[in-house]
Amino acid sequence: MAAFGSFALLIALALAAYNLFAGAVALRLIATGQPTAVSPERLADTARRAGIAGFLAITAAAFALIWSVFTNDFSITYIMEHSNRALPGAYKFSALWSGQEGSLLLWAWLLGTYGFVLRLTHKTDVKLYAYAGTILAGIQVFFLSILCFAAPPFVLYNGALPDDGNGLNPLLQYPEMVIHPPMLYLGYVGFSVPFAFALGALMMRYPGEKWIKVTRVWTLVTWLFLTAGIFLGMHWAYAVLGWGGYWGWDPVENASFMPWLTGTAFLHSVMMQEKKGMMKSWNMWLVFSTFLLTLLGTLLTRAGLVSSVHAFAQSSIGTWFVVFMGIVLAVCIFTFVLQHSHLQSEHHIESLVSRESSFLFNNLVLLTACFVILWGTLFPILSEYVEGSKVTVGAPFYNRVAVPIGIFLLFLTGVGPLLPWRATSIKSIKRNFILPVTALWATVIVCLIAGVRPWQNGSIDQGNFYALVAFSVSAAVFTAIVSEFLRGAGVISRQTGRNLFAATWLLTRRNTRRYGGYIIHIGVVIVVIGLAGSAFNRNQEQELGLHDRLSVGPYTLENVGFSQDSNLNYDSDYAQLDVYKDGKKQFQMFPEKRIYLASNQPQTMVAIHSTPEWDLYVVYEGSNPDTGQPIIKAFLNPLVGWIWAGLVIIVLGTFIALVPSLTPSTASLRVPATRTAPQEPALKGGLQ
């Protein structure tokens, strides 16, 4: 199977190279109009078919690796190092992305899959898709070259074959690790597609903004995958690392967050290009930057440039990435300089207080946040270069610098949709802002009464201060969005006689993109409220003998047993805790500590009881070597559940934004027959 996999990779590389060169030659011939023996259109089509065949070849290679994991083929070094016989089936899939070579193969396979879909749908716009397919083939050549020459996954084990493998990293043996990395990779890899479309459109001086519409769906789907991947990673960190938090500003986390920020900026500013013909160069560079940041993130994670809690697959392929990034940047700059006259804006912003400028400020804040994270991630390297010693840039730095920027961004999330296009008046500002501002101040007062006091013991409590600001701004943004929905739904309700709920549904279906976007914003507000809850985290650590008790918040934990278990994969020690609230027994928790047999590495399995109000999060930290008694650390983490609920709302909003809107004719058909339905022009005026 190793030989099969290796040959499949080589064939895939050859096909990708043919796709790149034949595609490039064909497009050049089409552009120059030179007469040739072979029709350039036919040449371009062979390139496209080579891309499709290349996908099949990479799929065969990926299948070979998965097959080898499931058949415990320890003659392949990668399988020996990342799997063992007792590994449960679901985690055998995880072996594909648990190491350097496997994760690169996953990357190449996902890129091949995106390319496959793109090439199958080429009739949407044959020429643009040919450009995009050729650029994707160029990226594929890079990844397949690494897989064939720098990090081959099918290298045979040198020496006597062991009976069993080293096993999978215990940190990865958690259900979310089966889905989190593929999601994240779908996001990372997916940004290659908008990049290919953008660069292709610029190269061919694509007329009009249709390429933006084609790219929007790809970008939104990719953004959704990346968002889900990041949140799943947060949940994994929360449930597995056992420190009570979910985001530690670790370089690996930062690496995934940076392209998310620029991708989000693109999704907003692209609307300006579609509606107003503005910001064309800006959007082009946003797409370029997002793709380059995905490469930079991979470089940071794999080259060992910065230390990280969870960089699982480090090696020396950093040089390959640096060279490739250099080539990509050079191609982008060259193409931009050559074709930038094609990107002249048709309109300019007319007022500082308008929807257009709010988009611009939104982009500014998102990119500043991206810069802050990039700066913080790279500063240790810079400091080492300048001063000769590395410094640490950890959570305290980001909490002081990035959190205020995040809150300002949230503020813009609420303000932007309330501003009309072009320009606004004081009267309009008063009308639109009165409710959100009232909600803001009402929340401030309620929070102060409830005990969220930014000033404690004569000094400012940073956590409480941020929480107060986050809660109040969230309330204002939520009110602004809901009032936007109600305003539109009210118009429909008056015109069609539908109830407010049905009118809101119709309103959303008439402009799924706009109202899907608002739902995503509501999800973001919910997430921010959840994040702000971390200011009120509490924890207690205690050695807990039999029937000893530990109290945290309203809960009392009693140790009623301490036991051990064993299976083929791991041995575990766990505590059995009865949890009381108001003197009544509520439930039991089983925090656990495992020792994985193949790797002989320990792993914490946190017990979490989640409610909308807070999470009771219990960690079994190990046994006191002197007394042999378990040490239990219990956290009470308020509002954590809101973060995951926010993700669900974001996903829902994105799905809605992806659904095509009802056309005016379809929409009018759905108006009840008993009512008159000449509402479209009035509705249009009322909502814009």
Q: State the residues that interact with another protein by CB under 8 A.
A: 213, 242-245, 248, 250, 271, 275, 307-309, 348-352, 357, 360-361, 364, 367-368, 371-372, 375-376, 379, 383, 386-387, 389-397, 400-401, 405, 457-460, 462, 511-514, 517, 593, 602, 604, 619, 621-622, 633, 660-664, 680, 684, 687-688
Segments in 191-279 forming alpha helices (H): 192-203, 210-240, 251-276
Region of 266 (left: φ > 0; alpha: ψ -120 to 50; beta: rest) is alpha
The CA-atom distances, in angstroms, between 361 and each of 329, 364, 366, 373 are 26, 5, 8, 18
DSSP code of 272? H
Per-residue burial over 322-332, b if 16 or more Cβ lie within 10 Å, else e, is eebbeebeeeb
Least distance CB 245 / another protein (angstroms):
7
Least distance CB 469 / another protein (angstroms):
13
At a CB cut-off of 8 Å and minimum separation 6, what does 56 contact? none
Structure tokens at 668: 């009018």
Taking the least distance from each CB to another protein, the nearer of 498 and 593 is: 593
**Which of 287, 304, 88 shows the shortest CA–CA distance to 201?**
287
352's enclosing H/E stretch is: none
Taking the least distance from each CB to another protein, the nearer of 13 and 410 is: 410
Least distance CB 625 / another protein (angstroms):
9
Segments in 570-679 forming alpha helices (H): 640-658, 664-669
Least distance CB 489 / another protein (angstroms):
16
SS (H, E, C) 388-420: CCCCCCCHHHHHHHHHHHHHHHHHHHHHHHHCC
Q: Residue written as tokens 């814009």?
A: 688
142, 92 contact by CB (below 8 A): no
Least distance CB 589 / another protein (angstroms):
17
Which residues are bridge partners to 562 per DSSP? 575
Least distance CB 555 / another protein (angstroms):
20
Taking the least distance from each CB to another protein, the nearer of 643 and 683 is: 683
Taking the least distance from each CB to another protein, the nearer of 140 and 424 is: 424
**Which of 584, 574, 589, 576 shows the shortest CA–CA distance to 636?**
589
Q: How far apart are CA 684 and CA 650, in angstroms?
A: 26
Least distance CB 358 / another protein (angstroms):
11
Taking the least distance from each CB to another protein, the nearer of 235 and 593 is: 593
Q: Would you tell me how many other CB atoms lie within 10 Å of the CB of residue 651? A: 17
Least distance CB 443 / another protein (angstroms):
22
Least distance CB 405 / another protein (angstroms):
7
Q: How far apart are CA 316 and CA 581, in angstroms?
A: 53
587, 609 contact by CB (below 8 A): yes
Taking the least distance from each CB to another protein, the nearer of 122 and 593 is: 593
Taking the least distance from each CB to another protein, the nearer of 292 and 373 is: 373
Report which residue type is found at 330.
A
Least distance CB 357 / another protein (angstroms):
5
Taking the least distance from each CB to another protein, the nearer of 125 and 578 is: 125
Per-residue burial over 117-153, b if 16 or more Cβ lie within 10 Å, else e, is ebbeebeebebbbbbbbbbbbbbbbbbbbbbeeebbb
Least distance CB 72 / another protein (angstroms):
30
Taking the least distance from each CB to another protein, the nearer of 101 and 250 is: 250
Taking the least distance from each CB to another protein, the nearer of 610 and 663 is: 663
Taking the least distance from each CB to another protein, the nearer of 72 and 354 is: 354
506, 498 contact by CB (below 8 A): yes
Q: How far apart are CA 411 and CA 405, in angstroms?
A: 10
Least distance CB 392 / another protein (angstroms):
5
Least distance CB 577 / another protein (angstroms):
18
Least distance CB 513 / another protein (angstroms):
5
Least distance CB 550 / another protein (angstroms):
16
Taking the least distance from each CB to another protein, the nearer of 379 and 433 is: 379
Q: How far apart are CA 591 and CA 589, in angstroms?
A: 6
Taking the least distance from each CB to another protein, the nearer of 74 and 359 is: 359
Taking the least distance from each CB to another protein, the nearer of 140 and 215 is: 215
Largest CA distance in the chain: 89
643, 246 contact by CB (below 8 A): yes
Structure tokens at 403: 């959190």
Q: How far apart are CA 639 and CA 536, in angstroms?
A: 9
Residue 193: helix, strand or coil by DSSP?
A: helix
Q: How far apart are CA 640 and CA 655, in angstroms?
A: 24
197, 128 contact by CB (below 8 A): yes
Q: How far apart are CA 363 and CA 314, in angstroms?
A: 33
Least distance CB 406 / another protein (angstroms):
12
Residue 634: helix, strand or coil by DSSP?
A: strand
Residue 198: helix, strand or coil by DSSP?
A: helix
**Which of 402, 400, 326 shows the shortest CA–CA distance to 370?**
402
Taking the least distance from each CB to another protein, the nearer of 308 and 556 is: 308
Taking the least distance from each CB to another protein, the nearer of 22 and 640 is: 640
Report which residue type is found at 328.
V
